[in-house]
Structure 1
Amino acid sequence: MQIALVGIGKIALDQHVPSIAASPDWELAATVSRHGTVDGVEAFTDFDAMLAARPDIRVVSLCMPPVPRYDYAAKAIRAARHVMLEKPPGATLSECHALADMAAAQRVSLYATWHSRSADKVQAAKAWLAGKTLRKFTVTWKEDVRRWHPGQEWIWEPGGMGVFDPGINALSIVTEILADPIHVTSALLEVPENRQAPIAAKMAFHHPTAEVAMEFDWRQEGDQTWSIEAECDEGTLALHDGGARMLVDGAETGDETSAALSGEYPRLYARMSELVRAGTSDVDLAPMRHVADAFTLGRRELVAPFTE
């Protein structure tokens, strides 16, 4: 199937383009971007022009920041194109629900992707936790914003989510592997004096049997930390490197050399192919609900200004 990629930035070039190129299901037929292109692929700078010029392209993958994404997705759906959304699927829950309703009315597929759910060991962790009695659950997600989002000012603006841009990856794993639902009970959001969005967050959650706490921080230097640890009556589980590694009772399971993002985006594109062929959608907004609740309940604390 032919697909158009909209928003040719770092994540598109690092993950989307190679995944499409390696897939037997997809052909990258066009790009839309004001600044980036892909060698050998027809390039547009205007989305409306691409939709008009290429009615043969039935699928669109949107990789731009979340705030402008709704307008692009709505145009694509109205043009009867199937739509794949980079995470987070939008700037607000309301617009994501609106897109889901539009897609259903137009009978096109809509896929709200969560790439961290496709990490190597996430499904194994979900299976291990099933049926066990959870007592303590701790998430530590600390990375360096300078390394992963250089010069991307939009992440600090309203709708950019700040540290929840990576933190929502952790939440996407948590909402996949836990059998019991959780919800935010308290949050502390650290906001730089010169920014609109938080650079760090600490949260507590309600769970039927366990103490659940999460800490996100965008100021981490050196080794990056993407870890989830679960203590159960029946043993302990740890996911490291964003779900690429899994330890049970301290012992490594499987291959220890998997890269943190290895395989995630190829699995997303395989899933999108399944959805289009089946004529169905996948729009799970659970991770976004937790972010919205953290902003609603969060106590804001001003911290030192942040500059790259």
Structure 2
Amino acid sequence: MDIALVGIGKIAVDQHVPSIAASPDWDLTATVSRQGSVEGVPAFDDFDRMLEENPGIRVVSLCLPPVPRFDFAARALKAGRHVMLEKPPGATLSECGELENLARAQGLSLFATWHSREADKVDAAKAWLADKTLRSLTVTWREDVRRWHPGQDWIFEPGGLGVFDPGINALSIVTKILPVPIHLASAVLRIPENRQAPIAAALSFAHPGGARVACEFDFRQEGEQTWTIEAVCDEGTLLLTHGGGQMYIDGQPTGETEVGLAGEYPRLYAAMAALVRKGGIDMDLSPMRHVADAFLLGRRETVAPFDF
């Protein structure tokens, strides 16, 4: 199937482009960006012109920041194209709901992707936890915004999510591996005095079985990056590291370690191809609901200014 990629930034170049190129399902036949391009692929700076001139493109994959994403997604759906959304799928829950309604009305596929759910050991962690008695689950997600979003001031503007841009990855794993739903009980949002979105956050959740569930997110980590989830159960302790790429049970590793985002985006594009073929929609918004609740319920603390 022919596919267009919109927004040629770091994540598109590093993950989307090579995943499409390696896939038997897709041919990248157009890009839309104000700045970036992909060698050998027709490049457009006008989205509507790309749609008009390429009626054979069935699918549009959107790698734009969250705030402008709704407008592009709605235009693509109204033009009869299936749509794949980079995480988070939008800037608000309401606009995501509107996109789903539009896709259903048009008979089109819509996919809110959560790439961290495709990390190598996430499914194994879900299976292990399915019949366990959870006592505590602790998420530690610390990374360097300067490394992953160099100079991207939009991430600290309204709608940019701040530290929840990576934090929502952790929440996407948690909402997949836990066998029961949880909801936010309290949050602390640490916001630089010169920014609009948090650079760090601490979250506490209510668990129906009484387990302690807590998350610590920080965008100021230097040196080694930390992406871990530890689940302490009556039957043993599970530890996910490398963002879900490695799993330990009671300190013993299970399988080989997959680092970085290895395998995650190829699996997302395979899932999108399956959705298009069967006419399906996947718009699970549970990770985004937790973030929205944190902004609703969280206590704000002002911290030192931050500049790239």
The two structures have a TM-score, normalised by structure 2, of: 0.99
Which whole-Å CA distance do the structure 2 matches of 1:236 and 1:259 have between them? 21
Which whole-Å CA distance do the structure 1 matches of 2:260 and 2:208 have between them? 31
Gaps of 5+ in 2: none
Are residues 1:99 and 2:99 paired?
Answer: yes
Are residues 1:159 and 2:159 paired?
Answer: yes
1:185 maps to amino acid: A
Deviations 1:242-300 (A, max 9, x none): 000000011000003x1220000000000000000001111000000000000000000
Deviations 1:140-197 (A, max 9, x none): 0000000000011110100000000000000000000001100100000000000000
Deviations 1:41-70 (A, max 9, x none): 011001000011101101000000000000
Secondary structure of the residue aligned to 1:120 is coil
Which whole-Å CA distance do the structure 2 matches of 1:281 and 1:195 have between them? 36
1:67 maps to amino acid: V
- Superposition map of 1:53-92 within 5 A: 53-92=53-92
Q: Which residue in the other structure is 2:274 paired with? A: 274
Which whole-Å CA distance do the structure 1 matches of 2:182 and 2:14 have between them? 33
Deviation at 1:108, TM superposition (A): 0.4
Q: Which residue in the other structure is 1:149 paired with? A: 149
Query: Does the Cα contact within 8 Å between 1:119 and 1:260 map onto a contact in 2?
Result: no
Query: Does the Cα contact within 8 Å between 1:243 and 1:260 map onto a contact in 2?
Result: no
Q: Which residue in the other structure is 2:245 paired with? A: 244
Q: Which residue in the other structure is 1:113 paired with? A: 113
Deviations 1:51-109 (A, max 9, x none): 11101101000000000000000000000100000000000000000000000000000
Deviation at 1:120, TM superposition (A): 0.1
Gaps of 5+ in 1: none
Deviation at 1:137, TM superposition (A): 0.5
Secondary structure of the residue aligned to 2:228 is strand
Q: Which residue in the other structure is 1:213 paired with? A: 214
Q: Which residue in the other structure is 1:170 paired with? A: 170
- Superposition map of 1:16-27 within 5 A: 16-27=16-27
Which whole-Å CA distance do the structure 2 matches of 1:241 and 1:27 have between them? 31
Are residues 1:38 and 2:38 paired?
Answer: yes
Secondary structure of the residue aligned to 1:108 is coil
Query: Does the Cα contact within 8 Å between 1:100 and 1:110 map onto a contact in 2?
Result: yes
Secondary structure of the residue aligned to 1:17 is helix
- Superposition map of 1:178-257 within 5 A: 178-209=178-209, 210-256=211-257
Which whole-Å CA distance do the structure 1 matches of 2:243 and 2:259 have between them? 9
- Any runs of at least 4 consecutive aligned residues in structure 1 with deviations exceeding 6 A, and if so which? none
**What's the Cα RMSD here?**
0.5
Which whole-Å CA distance do the structure 2 matches of 1:307 and 1:76 have between them? 35
Secondary structure of the residue aligned to 2:30 is strand
Which whole-Å CA distance do the structure 2 matches of 1:151 and 1:82 have between them? 32
Secondary structure of the residue aligned to 1:219 is coil
Deviation at 1:131, TM superposition (A): 1.1
1:303 maps to amino acid: V
Secondary structure of the residue aligned to 1:38 is coil
Deviations 1:112-161 (A, max 9, x none): 00000000000000000001100010000000000000011110100000
Query: Does the Cα contact within 8 Å between 1:231 and 1:237 map onto a contact in 2?
Result: yes
Which whole-Å CA distance do the structure 1 matches of 2:133 and 2:247 have between them? 19
Which whole-Å CA distance do the structure 1 matches of 2:147 and 2:285 have between them? 27
Query: Does the Cα contact within 8 Å between 1:115 and 1:265 map onto a contact in 2?
Result: yes
Q: Which residue in the other structure is 2:306 paired with? A: 306
Which whole-Å CA distance do the structure 1 matches of 2:132 and 2:100 have between them? 34
2:214 maps to amino acid: A
Q: Which residue in the other structure is 1:52 paired with? A: 52
